[in-house]
Structure 1
Amino acid sequence: MGKLKHPIIVGVLTLISATGLYFLFDWMFTRPKAASAQAAPIEDLFQAHFIMMALLFALIMVIMLYAVVVFRRRPGDDSDGPHIHGNTGLEIAWTIIPTIVVIGFGVYGLVLFREVTAEQTDEMVVEVVGRQWSWSFEYPDAEVSSARLVLPVDQPILLEMYSEDVLHSFWVPEFRVKQDLVPGSMMPLRITPTEIGSYRLRCAEICGTGHSDMLADVEVVSRADFEQFLIDSAFRYSDLTPEERGEQFYVELTCNGCHSLDGTVGAGPSWQGIYLREEVLNDGSVVIADDDYLRRSIINPNEQIVQGFNEGAMPQNFGERIATVEAEILANEGVEIDVIADLIAFMQTLDQ
């Protein structure tokens, strides 16, 4: 019993300490509520890591502190400590056991990865486009575009994601899954939302000066509400006034990612009161924000930079994107729309 005294005490103290540490870690690393089917296995992986972290930390610290207290040099004891030449069994154990644990976690992670990325039956496709610094969403089956991501609850979703410029990363913390968007490639991500509610999409890859503002609303709704969303989102541009179309393009072209409507300064000047406003440029000259200036600023944003803003902050491909939108409207509705003229008409409604 004498030989087992210290191992038993260390074992009991380690279990007590590990239990306390586990609950401490679980409290410290608070996660938002899980809101997708993929979140459950990922939560299990979190718990497995917390258990292992608590056990290893407790084992190391208990043995160290126990040895310091119990086997410390006593007053008046000037003798040498015992000469220890090693313990072959212990050395083999602390080599093999950690190796097995690491391999086990690797296999567990691979199984979990295959589970959360597995193709589901009856998947609904949503196309996601990330660009500096905004998101847009297409529902190809319904021919609907939106600046917010609306998903029906308990419906398997396949997100087909594209980047128009640099690396971005799709991350809704409540869904627990994340996927980088790589220019030139379609990156898939599968989600089955399980909780009705409002969430926030963030870009988790530093992508430029407007990275922190690259956000989008995510709504998980009932199937009936989702069908109503599709009905409400389907419209003809030709049925709208120029001002109404301009407001729609402001969202669809993600101008709202850089230009506020309330005077707040973002990556670009606010549109509040912008029409016919005097703008001081970086070279010190002054221009009037009339139709000609606004059109040139959209097509060639680096030509005249407003003072206080950086060259290159605005994407350089808006001319191409606008041409694509106009071509699609002409093909679908048989009418020609001047998108920039509509945007300017919308700006004229935004008084100080």
Structure 2
Amino acid sequence: MKHLAVASVLVVIVTLLVILLLTSTNLLPGLASEEGAFVDQMFRAQIYVIAFIFSLIVVLVLYSVVVFRQKPGDEGEGQYITGNTALEIGWTLVPLVIVIIFATWGALHLAEVTAGEEGELVVEVTGFQFGWRFDYPDAGVSSDELWLPLNRQVLFRITSRDVIHSFWVPEFRLKQDAVPGRWTELRVKPTETGDYRLRCAELCGYAHAAMISRVVVVEPAAFEAWLQGMSVAQPTGDDTSPAGRGAMMVQDNGCTSCHSVDGTTLVGPSWQGVFGSERQLEDGSTVTADEEYLRRAILDPGSQVVAGFPNIMPAAYNFLPEEDITAMVEYIKTLSR
């Protein structure tokens, strides 16, 4: 009984120390959604259980190694134990009960997390190698940045253009796969204004780590102002010129997820002022960004990588008709005038 009492005290002490360590190291980013509150609650409960199980195993093993080690001069055989039925049943049933409790707890809250609300904002999300496109169907707006209003539930309808991706904003705590050929759904109510990052949480290719988009949560009035501004600036298709069609193609293919049109440096080089300029390539050579250069940059991007930028753009646009490529080139040319 003496050994059991000492070991029990040590287990309690180590458990408290492990819990203190894990809860003070900011394992999760700041919470920014209503649905994430339950996720954090379950996460903390699991930390408590894990800390106890870890301490129980480690303390008993180390205690046994130290206290029951072979003493100097002791040449006798150790006691042979064939088994302990009670212990074996215990360490089988206890984990089973723990798993059932957490599974039941999660299932009971699943309906709350997925329930819709009247007046929710619908955002259609399309993932592709290696970026995101966001469509607001009620407003007729498309963007490569995800803007959301504070304290309003958002229904994300998520799909993919090529391979499986996964929609994940760490501060929202929820994740949903983007699957080619089908729509999946995720509901989130943002509760904190701020600037966040959407990441792909499913390995989707060599530039998976670069598949990041900006997420902005603002007050409802600011969101409506942004939506109105985007609606005015949105290519409508009324411009039937090659450059006008090119603007639509750029929007539809999510090009501005990696290439800005205002000089801002993103994953890839900005298109502002690119036409007619001299471009230094990663092999040290210099080329003039003429129409042929722009066309080749779309169809075979790996053949002329601009110095200072990673070679991550997929050669995935060969499916586009020649007239669409020409239209995109004409649009890029307008950014240099």
Report the TM range for the smaller structure's normalisation. 0.7 to 0.9
Q: CA deviation at 1:42?
A: 0.8
How far, CA to CA, are the matches of 2:96 and 2:302 in structure 1?
61
Q: Are residues 1:117 and 2:114 paired? A: yes
How far, CA to CA, are the matches of 1:136 and 1:14 in structure 2?
51
Q: CA deviation at 1:171?
A: 1.0
Q: Which among 193, 208, 215 is matched to residue 196 of structure 1?
A: 193
| Map of 1:256 onto structure 2 | 256
Tell me, what secondary structure is at the counterpart of 2:316?
Answer: coil
Q: Tell me the TM-score normalised to structure 2 length.
A: 0.80
How far, CA to CA, are the matches of 1:320 and 1:185 in structure 2?
25
| Percent of residue pairs identical | 41
| Map of 1:301 onto structure 2 | 299
8 Å CA contact retained: 1:302, 1:311 = no
Q: Pairwise mapping of residues 43-122 of structure 1 onto structure 2 (< 5 A)?
A: 43-122=40-119
Tell me, what secondary structure is at the counterpart of 1:216?
Answer: strand
Runs of 4+ in 1 over 4 A off after TM superposition: 236-253, 260-267, 277-282, 285-288, 307-312, 320-323
8 Å CA contact retained: 1:242, 1:342 = yes
Q: Pairwise mapping of residues 147-296 of structure 1 onto structure 2 (< 5 A)?
A: 147-235=144-232, 237=235, 253-259=253-259, 266=267, 271=271, 273-277=273-277, 289-291=289-291, 294=294, 296=295
8 Å CA contact retained: 1:153, 1:196 = yes
In structure 2, the CA distance between the partners of 1:213 and 1:161, relative to structure 1 (3 Å rule), is same
In structure 2, the CA distance between the partners of 1:61 and 1:200, relative to structure 1 (3 Å rule), is same
8 Å CA contact retained: 2:31, 2:37 = yes
CA RMSD of aligned residues (A): 3.8
Structure 2: where are the runs of 5+ without partners? Answer: none
How far, CA to CA, are the matches of 1:213 and 1:60 in structure 2?
40
| Map of 1:319 onto structure 2 | 320
8 Å CA contact retained: 1:302, 1:312 = no
How far, CA to CA, are the matches of 1:151 and 1:263 in structure 2?
22
Residue type of the alignment partner of 2:135: E
Tell me, what secondary structure is at the counterpart of 1:234?
Answer: helix
Q: Which among 308, 331, 334 is matched to residue 345 of structure 1?
A: 334
How far, CA to CA, are the matches of 1:49 and 1:142 in structure 2?
42
Structure 1: where are the runs of 5+ without partners? Answer: 324-337
Tell me, what secondary structure is at the counterpart of 2:134?
Answer: strand
How far, CA to CA, are the matches of 2:32 and 2:78 in structure 1?
58
8 Å CA contact retained: 1:209, 1:313 = no
Q: CA deviation at 1:315?
A: 2.7
8 Å CA contact retained: 2:123, 2:135 = yes
Tell me, what secondary structure is at the counterpart of 1:58?
Answer: helix
In structure 2, the CA distance between the partners of 1:93 and 1:219, relative to structure 1 (3 Å rule), is same
8 Å CA contact retained: 1:245, 1:343 = no
Tell me, what secondary structure is at the counterpart of 1:170?
Answer: strand
How far, CA to CA, are the matches of 2:221 and 2:182 in structure 1?
33
In structure 2, the CA distance between the partners of 1:224 and 1:318, relative to structure 1 (3 Å rule), is farther
Q: CA deviation at 1:242?
A: 9.9
How far, CA to CA, are the matches of 1:152 and 1:218 in structure 2?
11
Q: CA deviation at 1:318?
A: 7.2
Residue type of the alignment partner of 1:345: T
Deviations 1:86-140 (A, max 9, x none): 3332222222222222333333343344442333443221111112222121111
Q: CA deviation at 1:157?
A: 0.8
How far, CA to CA, are the matches of 1:318 and 1:266 in structure 2?
23
Tell me, what secondary structure is at the counterpart of 1:319?
Answer: coil
Query: How many residues matched?
Result: 326
Tell me, what secondary structure is at the counterpart of 1:155?
Answer: coil
Q: CA deviation at 1:244?
A: 10
Q: Which one is further off, 135-144 or 27-36?
A: 27-36
In structure 2, the CA distance between the partners of 1:7 and 1:211, relative to structure 1 (3 Å rule), is same
Residue type of the alignment partner of 1:51: Y
Q: CA deviation at 1:74?
A: 3.5
How far, CA to CA, are the matches of 2:193 and 2:172 in structure 1?
12
8 Å CA contact retained: 2:127, 2:165 = yes
8 Å CA contact retained: 1:169, 1:179 = yes
8 Å CA contact retained: 1:305, 1:311 = no
Q: Tell me the TM-score normalised to structure 1 length.
A: 0.77
Higher CA-based Rg = 1
How far, CA to CA, are the matches of 2:304 and 2:197 in structure 1?
31
Tell me, what secondary structure is at the counterpart of 1:59?
Answer: helix
| Map of 1:144 onto structure 2 | 141
In structure 2, the CA distance between the partners of 1:80 and 1:140, relative to structure 1 (3 Å rule), is same
Q: Are residues 1:19 and 2:11 paired? A: no
Residue type of the alignment partner of 1:301: L
